[in-house]
């Protein structure tokens, strides 16, 4: 009789346990700024920051010139916010632009 403990292989890690230097995910920019959107192209690297003066500590995606592209909402956003506050820098690389929707890959710098 061959049994199995059912545990096999991988482990699931809670978002709050992911090390900041390992936090990576793909997501869509929320509320994209149409004026800035026309200047984006696939492959462009954007900065991620916490909005200045924001009591809610909103996460913003900005160009290297400081123009706000939009926000980020993701199930890992809380961990991203914690890592940003802990001084880990992140970038968002544009993966696709389609009808005003911008998909990006977020990773540490």
The pLDDT tens digits of the residues spanning 8-20 come to 444 455 555 899 9
Tokens linked to 63: 């160009």
Q: Is 3 a domain residue?
A: no
Give how many domains the chain has, as a whole number: 1
Task: Kindly indicate the confidence band of residue 43, based on its pLDDT and cuts at 50, 70 and 90.
Answer: very high
Give pLDDT, residue 13.
Answer: 52
**Number of helical H runs and strand E runs in the chain:** 2, 6
Burial of 11: CB neighbours in 10 Å, binned 0-12, 13-18, 19+ = exposed
For residue 15, the model assigns a pLDDT of 54
Q: Domain of 46?
A: 24-108
Mean per-residue pLDDT over the chain, rounded: 88
Residue 80 has pLDDT above 70, yes or no: yes
CA distance 79 to 24: 11
Question: What pLDDT, on the 0 to 100 scale, is given for residue 6?
Answer: 46
Residue 89 inside a domain? The answer is: yes
Residue 11 located in a structural domain: no
């Amino acid at each position: 009789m061959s049994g199995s403990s059912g545990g096999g292989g991988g482990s699931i890690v809670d978002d709050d346990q992911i090390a900041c230097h390992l936090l990576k995910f793909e997501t869509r920019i929320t509320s994209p700024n149409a004026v800035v959107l026309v200047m984006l192209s696939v492959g462009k690297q954007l900065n991620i920051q916490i909005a200045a003066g924001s009591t809610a500590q909103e996460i913003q995606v900005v160009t290297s010139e400081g123009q706000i592209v939009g926000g980020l909402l993701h199930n890992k956003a809380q961990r991203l916010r914690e890592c940003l506050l802990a001084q880990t820098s992140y970038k968002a690389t544009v993966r696709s632009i389609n009808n005003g929707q911008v998909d990006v890959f977020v990773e540490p710098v």
